[in-house]
Structure 1
Amino acid sequence: MVFTLLENDSSTNVSSFQVPDPTYQHPLANLTLRSSLRADGFNTTTTTPILVAEYVGVVVLNILSALFSGLVLGLLSLDVTELEILRKCGTEKERRYAAAIIPMRRHSNLLLCSLVLGNVIVNAFLQEILDDLFPGIVGFISTTICITIVGEILPQAVCARHGLAIGAKTIWLTWIVIIITFPVSYPLSFVLDCALGDEIAFVYDRERLLEYIRITKNYNNLDPQEINIIMGALKIKKIAVGQIMTKLRDVFMLSLDTVIDYQVILGIVKRGFSRIPVYERSRRNIVGLLMVKDLALINPHSEVTLKSILAFYKHPIILVDEAHTLEVVFNHFREGKSHMAIVRAHKKKDIVGIATLEDIIEEVLQVEINDETDIVTDNREFKYRPDAQIPNDLEILSAHLNEAMARRKFRDVKHGTKDSLHHTLSAERIKKGDKDGSDRAPNK
C-alpha cells in the first residue's frame, strides 16, 4: 500500500494524505522473495529456475559427496603391493584397473587430503542449499539423511567391496579433484609425509601367510592337496628334523661283523629298505651305510662280511643335530652325498634316529609316499602296508638261482659287457679283500 505525503496547508496547518488508488501496482510486486513466503516452513514457489537449480544441485552434490567418501575408503584400502600383484597376475579387468590406480595410489597422503577436502567442500554447499530449501527441523533432518546415509554409509559399504572397479572408472574425476584442491591439499600432504614417513606396504610373514591360507581355504580355488603342499613348504624352516625322524629303536640296522649269507639277505629283502645303517658294537655307534644295491652281485655262499662291503663302497655318512631344521638337512641331501642322515641329540653325540630325503618330501607334501618295494608306510609310527608284497623264501631262493646263472654268463667274456664285468670284478675284489683282512671300516 502506497501513501503519498501532501504539501502542508498553511491555512489549516494540518498535513493531508492522498487516498491510495486501488488499481495501483508496485513495480517490484512480481518479484519472488522466498524469505517472505515461509510461514508454513516450506517454499511455496516450485516453478522458478533458481529453485530447480537448487534441487539439481542437491542431487549432484549428494553424488559427489558419496563418491568422495567412498573413494577415501575404497582407494586407500587398496594396498600398493596388492595392486602390483593384481597388475601382474589378476584378470584382464583387474590388471587394467590396477594399472590405472597405482600411479595415484603411490601418493596416498595427497590422495587422502584431496578427497577429504573435496568432500568437506561439497558437504558445506549441500548443507547451505538444504537449509535454504527446508528451514528449521526439516532442514536439519534432511541434511542429516543426505550426508550420513547417502554421503557416508551407502558409498562406503559399496566401495569397500568394489573399490577397485569404482576407483578405476572414476580416476579422471579424482585427478580433477586433486588439481583443484592442489594449493591446499599438497602442503597438507607434504606435512603428513614428513611426519609419518613413507607408507609401509602390508607384507605377510610366514605365520600370517600360513594362517591366511588356512582361513581362506574354503573360499579360494586351490585344491586341498595344493594347500597342503604350500603349507608344508612354508613350514620347512620351522620344523626340526627331530620331529620327523625315525627313532633309533625302530631303525633296522646291521652289525659291522655281519656275514652276508642267505639268511641276512632274506631278512634285508623282507624289510624292504634301500639303505641300512651299520653299527659297531652298539646301536648308537653307527659307522657306515649299506645300500641294498651293493648286494646285487654278492654270492651268499662266499661269506663276505659287511665290513668288507663298507670298506669297498665307502658311502658317506651325514650327521645332523636333531634341532636342525628340515631346510638344513635338505641342503645336505641336495649335495648328493647321501639321502639318509644320522640324527644326534641336541648338544650331544648320542645318536637318536635317522632321517631320509623321503621323510622331508613327505612332510612337505603332507602325504605318505610309497613305492612298489615299501613294506612300512609310516616310519615314525612303524605301520606296515596292508597291500605290501613280501617275498617268501622260495621266491628269494629262485632269485638267487637266477643270479647264479647270470654270474656264469658275466664271467664269459663273449656274453659279458663292460658294466657286468665291472660288477663281477668288484664282487671278487670284496671277497678277496675280506679274506686278506686288509679292509678297513669307514671313519665315524
Structure 2
Amino acid sequence: MNEAPLGLLFGILAALIVLSGFFSGSETGMMSLNRYRLRHRAKSGHRGAKRASKLLEEPDSLISTILIGNNLVNNLAATIAALVAIRLYGENATLPAAVLLTLVFLIFAEIIPKTIAAYKSETVAYAASHILLPLKKLLFPAIWLVSHITHFVLRLTGIEKNDGSEHIGLDELRTIVGEAGHLIPKHHKGMLMNILDLEQITVDDIMIPRNEVFGIDIDADTDIIIRKLRDAEFTRIPVYQNDIDNIVGILHQRDIINSVDEQGRVQRDALLQAIRDPYFIPEGTPLNTQLFNFQKQKRRLGVVVDEYGVMQGIVTLEDLLEEIVGEFTSNLSTDTDDIVHQADGTYLVDGTTTIRDINKSMKWDLPTDGPKTLNGLLLEKLESFPEGSVGLTIDRYYFEILEMKGNLIQSVRAYSKGKGRR
C-alpha cells in the first residue's frame, strides 16, 4: 500500500467515503420506513418493500450488517488518509489529516446521506436492500458473533431482548388518524375518530331519558292506543303496563297491519300478539359493545336499566350509528330544537339536553364524566334547586337559568366567556 500511486489512494479514499455514506443513509432510510405502509406495499407485491420487510424482520442483524460495513469502511479510510498524509507532508501531518477526514466524513458520509434518507426513506431503503440482503448473508459469521456477544452483555445488564413486535394503543391510533392530513377526507376522518371513541362512550350518554320516552300503555283502550300510534314519529314503540318503568315489549308499526280486520278496525288480540319481547341493556355498557350486541341479537332498540332493573331510558341502533356518521337529518343548520343560537351570540338550551350534544353542537368542552344532562350538571354545581333566575359559571362558560318546571330546569341561556357576549 505504501508503494501505491497517490492517485489510486485518493480514488480508494473517495470510494470509501461513498460507501460510508451508503451505510449511513441506508441505516436512516431503513429505520425511517413507515412499517404499516411497508407491510401494505409488501402485500401488494412491491419487490423493494418485500426485501426491506425481510431485512426488518431481524432488526438487530440488519443494524449489525450496516455497522460492521460502516466501521470497516471508516477504519480503512482512516488508514489510507494517514498514509497519504505521511507521504505528502511527513508524520506530523497525521493529526491535521485526521481532523480534515473527520470533517469530510461528517458532511459527505453522515449529514448529507442521512438527510436525504430521512426525506426519501422508501427510495433509499428499497435501493439499499439490493446490497444489504446479500451482504447480510456474506457477513453472517461476523454478525452471529457480534450478536451473541451483544446479547450476552445486555443480559448482564438486565436488559432482555423483546420480540420486536409493534403494538399501538388507541391514543396512538387517534394520533395517526388525526395527522393523516389530506390522505383521509375530513368526513371520513371524523367517522374514524368517532369509531375509536365508541369504547369511551356508554349507552347512558346517548340514550333517550326516561321522561322523554314515547310509549303506549297496553291497558289503555284500543282507540287510545291507535290514536297514539297514528301520532307516533317512530317505527318501534315501547309498550308498558300502567307505568313507563314496567316495559313489557316493543311494538313495530309494520306489525299493526296484521291486526287490521276486513272492516279496517284493529283487533286488540292481534295487536297484543304483535308485541315483541323487550330487549334490556345494562347501564354503563360501552357503545362498541352495544353495537356488537345489537348485531348479535338482531335488535334495533333496547331499554337501558340500572342495577335494580329500573328503566333509565332507551337506545336505538340509529342513535348509535349517529355517533359514527353524524346526525341523520337534512337540516344543515347547527341549531337543534334543544339548542337555539341567538342573535346576541348566546344560546337558548333546553335543560334536558345532554352534555355531549352541547359539546358537539357548540364546540364546547364541558365535563362529561359526571351528570349526563345540562339540568344535572347545573344542579350538581348549585347543590340545590334554584328559586327564580340564577346565573353561574362553569369553567369559562356562563349559564343563566331562565325557567324551572317543578324540580327540572326547563330553559337556560348560555355563552362562552372566551367569545364574549355581543
Asked if these proteins are the same fold (TM beyond 0.5), I'd say yes
| TM-score normalised by length of structure 2 | 0.66
Letter in 2 for 1:339: R
The residue correspondences of 1:231-250 to structure 2 (distance < 5 A) are 231-250=193-212
Q: In 2, distance between residues paired with 1:136 and 1:224?
A: 61
The percent identity for this pair of structures is 21
| TM-score normalised by length of structure 1 | 0.63
Q: In 1, distance between residues paired with 2:328 and 2:168?
A: 31
Letter in 2 for 1:130: A
Q: Which residue of 1 aligns with 2:142?
A: 184
Say whether residues 1:130 and 2:81 are aligned partners.
yes
Q: In 1, distance between residues paired with 2:62 and 2:281?
A: 55
Out of 59, 64, 71, the residue aligned to residue 26 of structure 2 is 71
Letter in 1 for 2:286: T
For 2:164, what is the secondary structure of its paired residue? Answer: coil
Q: Which whole-Å deviations, capped at 9, do the CAs of 1:100-156 have from their partners, x for residues lacking one?
A: 223333232222112112211211222233334452564243112122221212211
* Change in 2 beyond 3 A, CA 1:293/1:80: closer
Out of 308, 330, 335, the residue aligned to residue 348 of structure 1 is 308
Q: In 1, distance between residues paired with 2:177 and 2:243?
A: 46
**TM-superposed deviation, 1:193:** 5.6
Q: In 1, distance between residues paired with 2:273 and 2:179?
A: 54
Q: In 1, distance between residues paired with 2:168 and 2:122?
A: 21
Contact 1:289–1:310 (Cα < 8 Å) also in 2: no
**TM-superposed deviation, 1:98:** 0.9
Q: Which residue of 1 aligns with 2:369?
A: none
For 2:246, what is the secondary structure of its paired residue? Answer: strand
Contact 2:210–2:313 (Cα < 8 Å) also in 1: yes
Q: Which moved more, 1:77-86 or 1:60-69?
A: 77-86
Q: Which residue of 2 aligns with 1:157?
A: 115
Where does the alignment leave 5 or more consecutive residues of structure 1 unmatched? 1-33, 35-47, 384-444
Q: Which residue of 2 aligns with 1:141?
A: 99
Which has the higher Rg, Structure 1 or Structure 2? 1
* Change in 2 beyond 3 A, CA 1:352/1:179: closer
Out of 290, 296, 302, the residue aligned to residue 329 of structure 1 is 290
For 1:170, what is the secondary structure of its paired residue? Answer: helix
**TM-superposed deviation, 1:59:** 1.2
* Change in 2 beyond 3 A, CA 1:193/1:103: farther
Q: Select the structure that is richer in strand.
A: 2
For 1:369, what is the secondary structure of its paired residue? Answer: coil
**TM-superposed deviation, 1:321:** 0.6
Q: Which residue of 1 aligns with 2:131?
A: 173
Contact 1:320–1:344 (Cα < 8 Å) also in 2: yes
Contact 1:279–1:286 (Cα < 8 Å) also in 2: yes
Q: Which residue of 1 aligns with 2:168?
A: 204
Q: Which residue of 1 aligns with 2:50?
A: 99
Say whether residues 1:253 and 2:215 are aligned partners.
yes
Q: In 1, distance between residues paired with 2:134 and 2:267?
A: 90
Out of 47, 50, 60, the residue aligned to residue 5 of structure 2 is 50
Q: Which whole-Å deviations, capped at 9, do the CAs of 1:346-401 have from their partners, x for residues lacking one?
A: x2321110011111222232x12259xxxx999x8599xxxxxxxxxxxxxxxxxx
Q: In 2, distance between residues paired with 1:151 and 1:191?
A: 28
Q: Which moved more, 1:264-273 or 1:151-160?
A: 264-273
The residue correspondences of 1:233-382 to structure 2 (distance < 5 A) are 233-261=195-223, 265-296=226-257, 298=260, 308=269, 311-335=272-296, 338-345=299-306, 347-365=307-325, 367-370=326-329, 381=353
For 1:213, what is the secondary structure of its paired residue? Answer: helix
For 2:251, what is the secondary structure of its paired residue? Answer: strand
Q: Which 4+ residue blocks in structure 1 deviate beyond 6 angstroms? A: none
Letter in 2 for 1:185: I
**TM-superposed deviation, 1:250:** 1.4
**More RCO (CA 8 Å, sep 6+):** 1
Contact 1:274–1:291 (Cα < 8 Å) also in 2: yes
**TM-superposed deviation, 1:49:** 6.8
